[in-house]
Amino acid sequence: MNAKNSKFNEIDKKKAFIDGKRPFPKHTAKRLNEKILVEWTYNTNAIEGNTLTLSETRVVLEGITVGGKTIKEHLEAINHRDAVIYLEDIVKGNENLSEWVIKNLHGIVLRDIDRENAGVYRKENVVISGATHIPPDFLHVPWHMEKLIKWYYGEGQGMHPIERAAVLHTDFVKIHPFVDGNGRTARLLLNFELMKNGYPPAIIKKDIRPLYYEALDIAHTKGEYGLFTDIVVKALGDSLDLYIKVLGLREKNMEL
Active site residues: 176
Give residue 53's Cα distance to chain centre: 19
Beta strands in 142-190 (DSSP E): none
In DSSP notation, 63-83 reads: TPPPTTS-HHHHHHHHHHHHH
| Helix H or strand E encompassing 27 | helix 26-47
Distance from C-alpha of 10 to C-alpha of 6, rounded to nearest angstrom: 6
Output the CA–CA distances (angstroms, integers) from residue 19 to 144, 190, 191, 207, 244, in the order listed: 37, 21, 18, 29, 11
| Helix H or strand E encompassing 180 | none
Give residue 124's Cα distance to chain centre: 25
Please tell me what DSSP assigns to residue 140. Answer: G
**Secondary-structure breakdown of the chain: helix, strand, coil percentages, each rounded to the nearest 5:** 65, 0, 35
CB distance 101 to 148 below 8 Å: no
Output the CA–CA distances (angstroms, integers) from residue 254 to 3, 17, 19, 56, 249, in the order listed: 21, 6, 12, 37, 10
Kindly compute the dihedral angle of the four CA atoms of residues 209, 233, 153, 151, in this order, to the nearest 10 degrees: 50
